[in-house]
Structure 1
Amino acid sequence: MCNGSWNLIPQIYFSNDTTKKMEITIIQLGDENIAEVKGSGVFIHNLDDGLQIMVDCGAQEAYKAIIYQENITDDFFELKTKLAGEILQKYTQYGFDIAIVGDFSKYNSKSLNDFIYESNKSKKINFVGTREEAIARFSKR
């Protein structure tokens, strides 16, 4: 459960790139906006896609985002590709918090499990099982 109350702002923002069926819904948590980014298919394939999400959310004055595992390329979860490190380093560098919602057990990787564990300790990068967990992580600050 969340420690604070939150409201869904009934505004949906669509990506300018129509090939990416993505929508951003703003959740208001106290005086902060959280962007919930979801859509159909994979729309984060590379660093530029990850950065564009940050830009699109920031344009709505949301500096925290909930993103779903199914919208991120599997390469992100293969740490040897370094894609997760590149994207998440930029998010951290720009003070942008993220929660990735999904079931990460399918990857069966000790290094990924360790990465998730260490990331979750930072509270800036969160890997969680549900949308509600993501909102709760953001409300604990």
Structure 2
Amino acid sequence: MSGDTLVTLHGRSVLACAADGPKLCEGADALRVIAEAAGYGAQLVVVPVRRLAGEFFTLRTGVAGELVQKFVNHRLPLVVVGDISVHVARSAALRDFVAEANAGHQLWFVDTLSELEEKLRRQGRPATA
């Protein structure tokens, strides 16, 4: 199977995608993860940086927009976990995208799961959909 697991972080059911799973390269890949999350009843999906196609970090390719839009359409928050500093250092557009995403509720970029837990703690437990 996928190696993905369901965990609870600060009262939320979270699908934690395995680091060694298939890359998310296009909308169909995102939909497979979304379907898995729905099967588990997950309220949030955590994807390690290494699961994202390299094109995700070059915004002009449209890969990030396509993947994120699938999660938005299904009202399923996405969290990217890991160090993206190399990518951010190369692109002001990506730096702005990450800052804007982290200010919202649909897409977050965090370095560690501990950072995600702290963000969820500060946010409080959301009402279930």
Report the TM-score range of the alignment, normalised by the length of the smaller protein.
0.7 to 0.9
Unaligned runs of 5+ in 2: 125-129
What's the counterpart of residue 6 of structure 1?
none
Contact residue 116 and residue 127 of structure 1 kept, 8 A? yes
Q: Which residue of the partner structure matches residue 93 of structure 1?
A: 73
- Say if 2:101 is the partner of 1:124: no
Count of residue pairs brought into register by the alignment: 121
TM-score (norm 1): 0.78
Q: Which AA in structure 1 matches 2:101? A: S
Structure 2 partner of 1:25: 5
Query: Normalized per residue, which structure has more strand?
Result: 1
TM-score, structure 2 normalization: 0.84
| Aligned-pair CA distance for 1:31 | 4.9
Cα deviation 1:52-106 (Å, max 9, x = unaligned): 1111111100020111001111111110111111111221121101110111111
Separation in structure 1 between the aligned mates of residue 110 and residue 11 of structure 2, nearest angstrom: 23
Q: Once superposed, what is the RMSD of the aligned Cα atoms? A: 1.7
Higher helix share: 2
Structure 2 distance, partners of 1:47, 1:132, is 28
Runs of 4+ deviating beyond 6 Å: none
Identity %: 25
Question: Any unmatched runs of 5+ in structure 1?
Answer: 1-13, 16-22
